[in-house]
Structure 1
Amino acid sequence: MNIGKKVFPILSLIVPQIMPAQAVPEVDFTPANLVSGKLANGMHYYIMHNEEPKNRASFYFAQNVGSILEEDHQQGLAHFLEHMAFNGTQNFRDKGMLEYLEKNGIKFGAEINAFTSFDETVYNINQVPVTNKQLMDSVLLVLHDWSGHLSLTDTEIDNERGVIREEWRSRNTAGFRASSKIWLDGLLVNSKYSERMPIGKMDIVNNFKYDELRDYYHRWYRPDQQAVIIVGDIDTGEMENKVKELFSSIPLKPGLPERPEFGLKINKDLIYINSSDRELGDPSVQYYIKRNTPDVSGTERIELETTRSFTQYIVNNRFSELKLNKESPVLNMYLSTQEFVRPLTVMNYVIQPKKDSLLPALQYAMTAYRRFGRFGATPSEIDRARASLRSSLESSLKNRNKRNNDSYAKELYTAFFRGEPVADYAWELNYKLKFLDKITNEDILGFLGAFHGSEGHVIGITGTDQYEYPDKGEIISFLEQAEKEQLHPFEDTVTDETLVDETIKEGNIVSSKDLEGINAKLYTLSNGLQLALFPTDFDKEKIYMQAFSPGGQSLLDEEELPHVFISSYLASQSGLGDTDYITLKKMLAGKQTSVNVSIDGFWETVKGFSVQQDLETLFKRIYLTFTRPRFDRSAFERIKLSMTSNLNSKNNDVSSAFKDSLTMAANGYSTRQILFDQQLIDNVSLEGAASVFASRITNAGDFIFVFVGDFDEKKLLELARKYLGSLPSGEKEQYVDHHMFPQKPMTRIHLKKEMETPQSTVYVSLIGKMPYSREKAMEIYSIGQLLKKKYMDRIREEEGGSYGVSAGASLRTVPVGNYKLTVSFKCNPDKVDKLLAIVYEELDRLSEEVDKEDLAEVKSNLKKNILENQDKNSYWLRKITSSLQNGIPITGKEESIALVNDISPEHIMTVAGKIKENGNIVEGVLQPEDH
C-alpha cells in the first residue's frame, strides 16, 4: 500500500518538489574580502580577510572524499586516513606536526582537528597567530603535506588501529546503535551509503594490509578533489601568492578515475523499523520523510533556507503549545529538516510519548501535521515568526563584523563541496530581511507539501526492548484510521497583556566605587543590592548579565533539597506573574531577552541577556522573577512525567549506578547529597519547589548584578533603580560548609555491569583542601594540562588504549580553599590494570620532575587564550563575577600573562607533591559483567 498518499492526501497535492517561493535573477554578490581560484592541478583555494578574532587565522583543508568512495574491502579506510594525517608527513615526522603546533600554543582537539563523513573529509588548524610568520608558513606546509605527502609508515598504521578500535568502542552506545539501524535500514536503504558508515568495520580496520591504505590514499587524496581555505586577519593577496607557489607544485597524476557521485532512490512504501535496545529508556518515535536534495543555488538556496527557518519556527512553536494541553499524550514533539547525505534531504518529526501512549501520541502528532497541511499557519503565528526572525537577522547584520573565522570557513568549504558561489554575508542578511516580508501562508504550505508527498516515509521507534511495540501492520492500520479524523483550524490565542502593569516604587543609588584592575564601577542601591557595570563595544547592542547571592543549597534543610532539582525549571516553564508560559512566549516574540535561574551548592544565580532595544523587557522579567515567580500545577505534573521517563532511561544506562557511586564517594557519602532516583521524584511537590525558590531568590539584598556589554550606562542605571532598587531585601546570608569531602585516604568503587559492547570506564579524582591564591590556581590548572598531555601520549598513542583521555584540575575558594584533579577515560577491559597504573605513575612523576617542553606548551597556550579573550564579553563577565564572588582582584591582560610566566617546574613539582600526599582519592572502574 502507499501510506504516504493515505496519510497526507492534502499535502501531496500542493507542490511536487522543493522549490523557493519565487525565482529571482542571479546577481553578483561575491564578498569583496574573498580571493578564490583554481590552480592548474585542479586544487581550489578560498582566502578571506576577517578580523574576528584580530591577529588570528584559521586554516582548513577540505577533501571531496568520504567513506562513500570505499570498496567493500576498504570500509573504514577514509576515516583511518583522517587519523593518519596527524601521524607523520613529508615535512613533519611521526608526531612532529602536533608537537610543533602545540609548542606554539595551538592545542590538539580544541584547535587542531578533523572529521570524516560519508561524502567528505575536513581538517582544521584554528586560532593561528598571524604575527608569527614562521608559524603561518609552517601551517601552510602542513596543509601541503595533507594533500599528498602522508608518511603512512607501518608502525604508525599499527599504532592507530588500537586508537580507532577504542573510538568505535566509545561511540557504540545504545543510542548510536538504535539510530544507526534507522539510518542504514531506513534513510539510506538500497544505496551504497547504507554500507559505508565512516567508522568502518573493525575486522577490516584490524587487518587491512598497509599498501591497501596507501593505494586508497593515492587514488583519492589528490589536488583536483581538494581545497585550501584560509580565513583571518591576513593580507589576502600575499597569502594567495604563497598558496599558488606552494600548492601549484603538487602534481595531478594521470589516469586517476573521476570522483563519482552516488544517488539514492526514495522508497515508495512505508518503512517501519523497531530499533529497541535493552540499554535505552522509554520509547520515542521518529517520523522521517525523505526527498532527493533539490538542485538549487544562489538566491534560490537563500530563499529556500529562509522559508525553511520560517516554517520550522511556526511549526515548532505550535507544537510547543499543543504538547502542553492537559489531554496531550506527548511529552515532546518537534520538527527538523536537514541534508542527511548529499543526495538526501529529510524532514523529521520527533515524538516523545507519555507512558503507555505510543499510538495515541502518534495520532496526536499526525493530526497536528495534517492540520498544518490543510490550513497552514494563522496570521498571528506568521506575524510572530516574522518579528522573531527579523530581530535575529537585524542583530546579525549589526554584528556582521563579529562573525568568526571558523563560521566563514565552514561556509566556504560547504560552497566548495556544492560547487556553488559564496555570498557576501551582509548582502545575504539584507536579502533575507527583504525576502522575509514576502513569505506567505502559501509558501509555508508549499514547503511542507514538498515533503509530504506519497513516497519516502520512514517510521523509526527507539526505546527499551522491555516494551511491547506495535508491528508494521498495526502502525499502518492506525495511521489509516487517524487520517479519517475530522480536522478543524487551529485557534491561536493572542493577548495584549503587559508584563508589568503595577506601580513600582524605585530605589536610589547610595554609593559607588571603581573596581580595581578594570574600567568598571560597582554601585550599591538603597535595598542593599549591588550592581557592577562594565560597558564594552565588543558585540553591537548586546548586553550580558549575571547575578549571584551566597547560600544556595547549603542553607536548605535536607528535606528541602529534592525540590531544588525542579524549582528553577518549574518556574521557567510556568510563566511569570499572571501570565502563563505560552502567553509569555507569544508576548516575547521578536524580543531578544533571556532570564535563567539556578540554585547550586553554594550560590543562587540569575543569568540574563538582551539587546539594547529590549533592555527594559529584560529588567521587567528580572523584576517578576524576584517578586512574582509563577508555579503552575499542570507544568509540575508534566515535569514529573518527564522525570519518570528520564529515570527509566537512566536506569537502563549501564553506567548510571557507577556515576551515582562516584558522586556519593566524592561528597563523603553525605546524606545531603541528592541523587536522581524514584525517591526524589516521589518527594518533590509543587509547594516545596515554590518554597525553595522563594527562600533562595526573593531576597535581593545580598545579590550582586554584573552587566557587561554595549549599553548606555545612564539608561541602565535608571532601569536598575526602578526594577532592581524596588526589589524586596532581607538579611545578608552566607553559605555553610557541610564538610562534603571524600573519605581518607582512598575510596575504591569497582563495579561490573552487563553491557552490549564490552567497555571499561576508569575514573580517578584527588580532592583536598588548599588555601586559594591566583598563583596556585594557575599552577593547579597547569598540572591538569600537563597530565592530560602525558596521558594522551601514553594511554592513547603508545598503548592504543583509549580514544581520548579527559584530565583537568582546578582550585576553588568555596566553601573553603580546595582543589580537584580528575582523570577519566573509556578503554578495552583487558587493559584496565595497565592503564590505571599509568595514571598513578604520571601523577607520581610530576612531583619529581617536570618536562620543561611540555610546561612551555601549556604556558604558551594559556597566554594565547588570555590574548584571544580580551575582546569577549563572556570572558569579562566570568572574571568580574569570579572576583566579586571570591574576593580576589581582577587581573588585566599584562598581570595575567605575568602570572603565567611565573609558573616554574619547581612550583609545579611542589604543588603536585601536596596533591599526591594530601588528596583524598576516589578511584572508579566499571567493567563488563563477564570480565
Structure 2
Amino acid sequence: MKFLKPLAVAFLLPATFSSLQAKSNFNAMLSTEVRTILSQDTLSWKSPLPFDKDVKVGKLKNGFTYYIRKNSEPEKRVTMYLGIKVGSILETEEERGLAHFLEHMNFNGLKHFPKNALVDYLQKAGVRFGSDLNAYTSFNETVYQLPIPSDDPELLKNGLQVMRDWAQDAMLQNDEIDKERGIIMEEMRGSRGAGQRIQDQMLPVLFNGSLYSERLPIGTEKVVMGFKHQLIRDFHQKWYRPDLQSIVIVGDIDAQAIEKEVIRLFSDMKVNKKIAPRKDFNLDLLNKNQFKVITDAEMPQTIGRIIIKHPKAEVNTVGDYRTSLLQGVFNQVMNGRLREIGQKPDSPFLQSMISIGDFMDLLDAMTLAVVPKPEKLEESTKSVIRELKRFEEFGITESEFQRALAMYAKGNEMSYQERDKVKSDTYVNSYLNHFLKGDAAMSVEDEYNLTKQLLPTLTLKEVEAIGKKYYAEINRDIVIVGPEKDKDKMPTESVVNSWFDAVGKEKLTAYEDQVSKLPLLAKEPVKGAVTAVKTIDAIGSKELTLSNGVKVVLKPTTFKNDQILISASSEGGHSLYEDKDYLNASNAAGIVSSSGIGQLNAVEIRKYLAGKNVGISPSIGERTEGISGSTDKEGLKTAFELIYAYFTQPRLDDDIFQGIIEKTVASMENREDDPAFVYRTAINKALYGDNIRKNNPSAEQIKSIDKDRTLEIFKERFADASGFTFTIVGSFTEDEIKPYLEQYLASLPSSNTKEQARDLKILPPAKGLQVIVNKGKEAKAQVSLAYMGDYTYNDDENMAMDALESVLSIKLLERLREDESGVYGTGASASYSKFPTGRYSFNIGFGTSVDKYQSLINSAVDEINKIKKNGPTQVDLDKFIIEKTRQYELDLKENGYWLGQISGAYRLKEDPTLVLKYLDQLKKVNISAVKAVAEKYLKEDKLFKFILLPEETK
C-alpha cells in the first residue's frame, strides 16, 4: 500500500529563495491586445475551462458521485478508482494513522471477500497485488485502484462489487486489525532514517506550523499499536460515506450498462443521520520569513532550499490556464540558464532548480534549490540568486522566449497526435483530481485547441512579470539540510540574508543566448544502399542488410500514431579493455553524450533540439556498445543525423569533461555516512573482492579518468558499424524510413571486422557466505538473500525460473507479511544470462525489526524448502500463468515490448519469432518443472546472506 512519501531528502522538494524589490501587479501586464484576441475568439478571460464531454458524470441521491467513460486503450481492460475525501488531516490526536490503517484493512476482509480472499481472488484473475491492485492515503484523500480485464463479465461484476465493499463494507475484525498493526509498524520502520528524521524537523516550517505537520498519514506508533478496535470502526462509519466518495471507471466497457450497475450497487449506501462536517484545512500564510538548518549524521550532502509561498491559484478559467502557461515558460527559461551554468567546470553546484508551481496542493510557491559542491553552499546560493537578479534586471531574450514556446507547442501537438491512443489511466487520474481537488478535466481536443489558441497570445513581458510577482521578499522559507559534521559551518539567517544583499550590489550583464547557426553535420554523408532484404512475416518485420554490412530490422506498427523507437548494438563493450582502461571505457559513452556533437557544443545542441521530439544516446556496456532513442516522423532526419554524428563526429569538450569529473568527485563526499552505500559496498566486496569492475570507484580513480583516452575509446567502439544491428519499431512505413537508412546508416564507417566480447570470468564465490554490516542509527534490519551460480539457459528453464519467482513471492507475502506481520513488503526476483556463460541470481529482500530478521530468514528458507520438496501449489502456478497471459496481451500492443524482444533476440542470437510462442511455452510450465529448478538452483550451499543492522548491534 502506498502512503505519502517522505519529503525531506528528495532534491525536488518544495524549495525556495527570495527577492530584492517590490513587484508590479501581474494582471496589469495583460495587454489590451491580448484581451482583444481572447474576446474575438469568444474566449472570455473568466470563461470556465470546458469539461470533457465524453465522460458520463452523475450523482446519486445519497451524494455518491460517478465518472464513467468508454476507452479502448488498452483493449479488454478497465481501470476503476474509488476516491474518498478522507485523509489523515481529519484525524484527532487519538486517531493518528487510522485513515491509513483503514486503507490497509480494506484488503483484509470485506463483506463479499472475507479475510484475504480479495487478494487471492484477484490474483487468480491475473491482477498483481501491489502494482495493479493498490491504494494510497494522503493528507486529504484515500484512493483505491483496481485495473482488471473487462472481457470477463463475471470478473467485471465482481470488480464493481469490490469497489462497493471498499466504499462501506470493510469487516474490521479484531484479529485482522491486530495482525495489521505489525505490518504497518514495519512500513513505518522502513521509512525511518535520515530522511524521516530531517522531515520531522522540516515539516513545521513547510506547513507553517499548521496541523498538517502533525498529521503524516503513517500515524504514530502509540496509536497504531494501541488504539481500541471500536475506534477504527467509528472512524470508518463517520467518514466512509457516499457524499465524500466517487467511483471513476474508464476502459473498454459498455458505459451505459456500467452506469446502471453503479446506480444499482451504490444507491443503497448508508447515510449517517448526523453527518460530521468535512472541514477544509487550508495552509495560511504567516506573512513573515522562516529559517531552519537541519543536520544529520547520515545525510551525505548539503541541500539548500528557498520556498517563497503564495496563495493557491486555482486553474479553473481560461485566464487561469493561460497564467499556468506563462509560469511554465518562465520555468523553462530559468532552468535552461541554470543548466548552462551547471555544465561549466567552475560551477559551484551539482544541481539547481528554479520553479513556480503548486506547493503540496495547498499553496503556490516559487521554489529554488541547490545541491552545492562541498564547501560551496554560499557560492551555489549566490549563483541561483544572481540568475534571478539578472532576470529581474534584464529580463529574458526573445530567442529564449520563442524556444520555450516551441517546446510547449511541440508537446501540445504530440498529445493531440495520440488523442485516440490515450491510456485509460490518464483519464482516470484527470477525473479523480476533478472530484478530489476540483481540478479541471478537459478533453484532449479542448486542451489542444485552447493551448494552440493561447500560446501565440503570450508575451515576453508577461513572462517577466510573472517571475517578478512570485520572487517576493515575504513568506520566504529558507531550509538548509546537511551532514552533521558540517554543523558548525552552517550559516545563520543573517549570514544568508547577507548573501542576498551582496548579490543585490553586484553589477551584472545581460544573459547572452548562445545559439549556433551551424548545421549539426559539417556535410551530408555519401549515400549507401540496401543490398539485401529478408522478410520475417510471422512478426510483420523485415531484415535489411546495408552496403556497409549494417543490419536493420524494421517493424512498422499502429500502436501509436507518431512514435518511432530505435535500438542498435554490437558485440564488444568495455570487456575488450584491460582493467587500467576500465574507468575510461565504462564512462566514455556517458561523458561523450553529455558533451556536444558534430558542429555543436553542449549548450548549442540542447537548444538545437528544443521543440523537437528527438532523443538519441550512445552506451557502452560490459559486452556491447549501442545507440538507443526515439523520435517522431518530423524528427526522423534529426535522429539519424545524431546517430551518424555519434559514429563519425563525436566530441568531448574540455569544459564539459572537467565539469563532469568535478561533479562526480564532489558527489562522493560523505557517501560513507550513508548506510545504504556502505551496505552495497560490503556486498560487492564480499562477492568480487577488490575488482575495479565490480566496486564503486574512489575519488582518486575518478580523477584518473583521461579525457583523450576516453574519447579515443569511444571512437574505437563506434569505428566499425558493420557489426551493428539496428531495430526500429513504430509508426513508419518502409518507404518513409528507407531514405534515412541509405543516407545515414549505410554510409557509416565499416571495416567488416568481427569482434567478440571477452569473458572476464569475474564471478562470486562458488559457495554461499554471510556478511553482516553494522551501519546506521535506526533500529531496523535490511536483509538480502541471494542464490547464485551456473545456469542452463533455455526457454523451458527460463519459464520455470520465472514461475518460481512468482509463486515464491506469493508465499513470502503470505508467510512473512500476512501470517507473521514481520514485513511490509517482500518478494523474490530471478535473473539469468546466456553470455558469456549461463549464470543466474535468485534474490529475496525485506526490511524488518532487528529482533525478527533471523526468524524471518528461517521462514523464507522454509518456504523455499517446501517448494523444493513438494513444488508449488497448482493454485499459485495458475496465478502466475494467468498474470503472464494477461500481461502478454497488453505487451503485444506496445512498441517498447517489440523493440526489446526483437533487439534482444538478435543480441542473444535467437529467433525473433519465438516471441509468438510465449503462450505455448507458458502453458507447458508445471509443478514438476518449477520444483526441479528450485531443487537445482536454490541449494543451501549457494545461499548468500547480506544483513544490514544498526551500528550498536554487534
For residues 492-515 of structure 1, the C-alpha deviation after alignment (integer angstroms, 9 at most, x for no partner) is 122211011324222222222123
Cα shift at 1:171 = 1.4
8 Å CA contact 1:89, 1:150 repeated in 2: yes
Q: How does 1:795-834 map to 2 (within 5 A)?
A: 795-834=816-855
Cα shift at 1:451 = 2.0
8 Å CA contact 1:571, 1:630 repeated in 2: yes
Q: Hey, what does 2:150 align to over in structure 1?
A: 130
Counterpart selection for 1:215 from 230, 234, 238: 234
Cα shift at 1:221 = 1.2
Q: Hey, what does 1:38 align to over in structure 2?
A: 59
For residues 450-495 of structure 1, the C-alpha deviation after alignment (integer angstroms, 9 at most, x for no partner) is 3223421111112211111111121122222322323432221222
Cα shift at 1:49 = 1.0
Opposite residue 264 of structure 1, the aligned amino acid is L
Q: Hey, what does 1:558 align to over in structure 2?
A: 579
Q: Hey, what does 2:465 align to over in structure 1?
A: 446
For residues 48-103 of structure 1, the C-alpha deviation after alignment (integer angstroms, 9 at most, x for no partner) is 11111011100000010111101112111111111111111111101111110010
8 Å CA contact 1:66, 1:121 repeated in 2: yes
Q: In the superposition, relative to structure 1, how do residues 199 and 505 fare at CA in structure 2: closer, same or farther (>3 Å)? A: same
Partners of 1:7 and 1:106 in 2: how far apart? 49
Q: SS of the residue aligned with 2:485?
A: coil
8 Å CA contact 2:562, 2:633 repeated in 1: yes
Cα shift at 1:289 = 1.1
- 1:378 lines up with 2:401 in the alignment: no
Q: Hey, what does 1:340 align to over in structure 2?
A: 359
8 Å CA contact 1:666, 1:922 repeated in 2: no
8 Å CA contact 1:563, 1:684 repeated in 2: yes
For residues 403-458 of structure 1, the C-alpha deviation after alignment (integer angstroms, 9 at most, x for no partner) is 11111111111000133553222111221121111111222123323322342111
Cα shift at 1:641 = 2.0
Partners of 1:804 and 1:515 in 2: how far apart? 43
Counterpart selection for 2:533 from 482, 501, 512: 512
Partners of 1:159 and 1:564 in 2: how far apart? 52
Q: SS of the residue aligned with 1:361?
A: helix
Opposite residue 305 of structure 2, the aligned amino acid is Q
Q: Hey, what does 2:185 align to over in structure 1?
A: 165
Partners of 1:631 and 1:162 in 2: how far apart? 54
Partners of 2:604 and 2:170 in 1: how far apart? 59
Cα shift at 1:650 = 2.6
Select between 528-537 and 633-642 the one with higher mean Cα deviation: 633-642
Q: Hey, what does 2:501 align to over in structure 1?
A: 480
Partners of 2:55 and 2:670 in 1: how far apart? 49
Partners of 1:18 and 1:798 in 2: how far apart? 64
Q: Hey, what does 1:645 align to over in structure 2?
A: 666
Partners of 1:576 and 1:241 in 2: how far apart? 59
8 Å CA contact 2:305, 2:479 repeated in 1: yes
8 Å CA contact 1:54, 1:233 repeated in 2: yes
Q: In the superposition, relative to structure 1, how do residues 561 and 156 fare at CA in structure 2: closer, same or farther (>3 Å)? A: same
Counterpart selection for 1:416 from 435, 442, 463: 435
Q: How does 1:269-280 map to 2 (within 5 A)?
A: 269-280=288-299
Partners of 2:832 and 2:512 in 1: how far apart? 55
Partners of 1:325 and 1:673 in 2: how far apart? 30
8 Å CA contact 2:409, 2:452 repeated in 1: yes
Partners of 1:344 and 1:28 in 2: how far apart? 21
Give aligned-pair identity as a percent: 28
Select between 580-589 and 681-690 the one with higher mean Cα deviation: 681-690
Q: In the superposition, relative to structure 1, how do residues 860 and 209 fare at CA in structure 2: closer, same or farther (>3 Å)? A: same
Partners of 1:798 and 1:752 in 2: how far apart? 29
Structure 2: 5+ residue stretches without partners: 1-14, 36-43
Q: SS of the residue aligned with 1:433?
A: helix
Q: Hey, what does 1:353 align to over in structure 2?
A: 372
Opposite residue 902 of structure 2, the aligned amino acid is I
8 Å CA contact 1:538, 1:709 repeated in 2: yes
Q: Hey, what does 1:463 align to over in structure 2?
A: 482
Give the TM-score, by structure 2 length. Answer: 0.94
Q: Hey, what does 2:3 align to over in structure 1?
A: none
Q: SS of the residue aligned with 1:131?
A: coil
Q: SS of the residue aligned with 1:466?
A: helix
Q: Hey, what does 2:26 align to over in structure 1?
A: 15
Q: In the superposition, relative to structure 1, how do residues 242 and 370 fare at CA in structure 2: closer, same or farther (>3 Å)? A: same
8 Å CA contact 1:772, 1:813 repeated in 2: yes
- 1:534 lines up with 2:562 in the alignment: no
Select between 516-525 and 74-83 the one with higher mean Cα deviation: 516-525
8 Å CA contact 1:118, 1:341 repeated in 2: no
8 Å CA contact 2:290, 2:477 repeated in 1: yes
Q: Hey, what does 2:884 align to over in structure 1?
A: 862
Give the TM-score, by structure 1 length. Answer: 0.96
Q: Hey, what does 2:901 align to over in structure 1?
A: 879
Opposite residue 312 of structure 1, the aligned amino acid is N
Q: Hey, what does 1:760 align to over in structure 2?
A: 781
Partners of 1:447 and 1:135 in 2: how far apart? 51
Cα shift at 1:739 = 2.1
Counterpart selection for 2:176 from 156, 163, 169: 156
Partners of 1:97 and 1:19 in 2: how far apart? 56
Q: In the superposition, relative to structure 1, how do residues 53 and 565 fare at CA in structure 2: closer, same or farther (>3 Å)? A: same
Partners of 2:506 and 2:565 in 1: how far apart? 48
8 Å CA contact 1:293, 1:345 repeated in 2: yes
Cα shift at 1:390 = 0.8
Select between 601-610 and 336-345 the one with higher mean Cα deviation: 336-345
Q: Hey, what does 2:5 align to over in structure 1?
A: none
Partners of 2:72 and 2:619 in 1: how far apart? 36
- 1:369 lines up with 2:380 in the alignment: no
- 1:613 lines up with 2:624 in the alignment: no
Opposite residue 716 of structure 1, the aligned amino acid is I
Q: In the superposition, relative to structure 1, how do residues 459 and 323 fare at CA in structure 2: closer, same or farther (>3 Å)? A: same
Opposite residue 475 of structure 1, the aligned amino acid is V
Counterpart selection for 1:588 from 598, 604, 609: 609
- 1:140 lines up with 2:160 in the alignment: yes
Partners of 1:851 and 1:845 in 2: how far apart? 10
Opposite residue 361 of structure 1, the aligned amino acid is S
Q: Hey, what does 1:912 align to over in structure 2?
A: 934
Q: In the superposition, relative to structure 1, how do residues 511 and 274 fare at CA in structure 2: closer, same or farther (>3 Å)? A: same
8 Å CA contact 1:668, 1:743 repeated in 2: no
8 Å CA contact 1:741, 1:767 repeated in 2: no
Opposite residue 366 of structure 1, the aligned amino acid is I
Opposite residue 100 of structure 1, the aligned amino acid is Y
Cα shift at 1:602 = 1.4
Opposite residue 424 of structure 1, the aligned amino acid is S
- 1:200 lines up with 2:219 in the alignment: yes
For residues 606-640 of structure 1, the C-alpha deviation after alignment (integer angstroms, 9 at most, x for no partner) is 11111101101000001110111111221122112
For residues 310-351 of structure 1, the C-alpha deviation after alignment (integer angstroms, 9 at most, x for no partner) is 221112112112333454322321123443334322221111
Q: Hey, what does 1:740 align to over in structure 2?
A: 762
Cα shift at 1:262 = 1.3
Opposite residue 61 of structure 1, the aligned amino acid is L
Cα shift at 1:180 = 4.6
Partners of 2:832 and 2:241 in 1: how far apart? 49
Opposite residue 131 of structure 1, the aligned amino acid is D
Q: Hey, what does 1:398 align to over in structure 2?
A: 417
Q: Hey, what does 1:83 align to over in structure 2?
A: 104
Counterpart selection for 1:190 from 199, 209, 213: 209
- 1:777 lines up with 2:798 in the alignment: yes
Q: In the superposition, relative to structure 1, how do residues 33 and 5 fare at CA in structure 2: closer, same or farther (>3 Å)? A: closer
Cα shift at 1:893 = 6.8
Q: SS of the residue aligned with 2:510?
A: coil
Opposite residue 546 of structure 1, the aligned amino acid is S
Q: In the superposition, relative to structure 1, how do residues 141 and 360 fare at CA in structure 2: closer, same or farther (>3 Å)? A: same
Partners of 1:907 and 1:517 in 2: how far apart? 29
- 1:93 lines up with 2:114 in the alignment: yes
Q: SS of the residue aligned with 2:627?
A: strand
For residues 837-896 of structure 1, the C-alpha deviation after alignment (integer angstroms, 9 at most, x for no partner) is 122212222122211111110111000010011110000000001111112223467521
Q: SS of the residue aligned with 2:534?
A: strand
8 Å CA contact 2:17, 2:476 repeated in 1: no
Partners of 1:668 and 1:793 in 2: how far apart? 37
Select between 435-444 and 853-862 the one with higher mean Cα deviation: 435-444
8 Å CA contact 1:647, 1:676 repeated in 2: no
8 Å CA contact 2:17, 2:385 repeated in 1: no
Cα shift at 1:27 = 6.3
8 Å CA contact 1:650, 1:656 repeated in 2: yes
Q: SS of the residue aligned with 1:788?
A: helix
